[in-house]
Amino acid sequence: MAARVSVQWKPAAVYTSGMRRCVVTGARIGQACGIGSTVLEGLMDLDYGVWQMRIQDEVKAEAPELFRLWQEAPQLTRFPGGESLQDMVARTSDALRTVLERHPGQTVVMVGHDSVNRALLLQLLDQPLSAYWKIAQDPCALNEVDIDGARVQVLRINDTSHLDHGAFHL
């Protein structure tokens, strides 16, 4: 990812979730681009509450109806002791506004989580939260969005071509 970003773009900033895997990825991207990276709390993963760090089979067995609702109507789900998608959308919207205000007209890298990426993409595509599962987000996927004032163009979604054969090829 770092090689691809540094070859294709010249980012002015790299923002990451505070979770270690994102901080490490962001630092490597920043290093490859000759800039630092900054944690932006709005990019933190969805708070799954009591489901945090548990495997799906466990929570499905413990709370089958809530698990089914999460899969079928995520917009109606609030995780026990955690967030709803609406909570995360408010948080990610603020993070995006912050980045756009700090870097008008500049290229910026945001390193987050599949849930955060989906929330941002749904907002940028003017899609409802019920479409949450319709957007694929694989680990280390790249999404490219061009924002110019009110004009938003989503250019790439879930691009993992830089992972083919273990390296990015020019």
Among the candidates 57, 82, 107, a domain finishes at: 82
- 9 pLDDT higher than 70: yes
CATH of the domain at 18: 3.40.50.1240
- Residue 167: per-residue pLDDT: 52
**Residue 86's pLDDT is what?**
98
Q: What is the pLDDT of residues 20-66, one digit of tens each?
A: 999 999 999 999 999 999 999 999 999 999 999 999 999 999 999 99
* Residues 119, 107 share a domain: yes
Domain range for residue 104? Answer: 2-46+84-166
Are 67 and 53 members of one domain? yes
Strand order in the sheet with 13-16: 38-39, 13-16, 108-111
What is the chain's Cα-based Rg? 17
Give the Cα separation of 151 and 157 in Å (integer): 17
Are residue 36 and residue 92 in the same domain, yes or no? Answer: yes
Q: Model confidence at 170, in pLDDT bands (50, 70, 90)?
A: very low
Residue 163: band (very low, low, confident or very high) from pLDDT cuts 50, 70, 90 = confident
pLDDT tens string 66-122:
999 999 999 999 999 999 999 999 999 999 999 999 999 999 999 999 999 999 999
Question: What is the pLDDT at residue 166?
Answer: 53
The total number of structural domains that make up the chain: 2
Which of 110, 102, 143 is CA-nearest to residue 23? 110
Q: Of 82, 104, 133, at which residue does a domain stop? A: 82
106, 116: one domain: yes
Same domain, yes or no: 77 and 89: no
The reply to whether 71 and 146 lie within a common domain is no
Same domain, yes or no, for 72 and 141? no
Q: Are residues 106 and 160 in the same domain?
A: yes
Indicate whether 156 and 113 sit together in one domain. yes
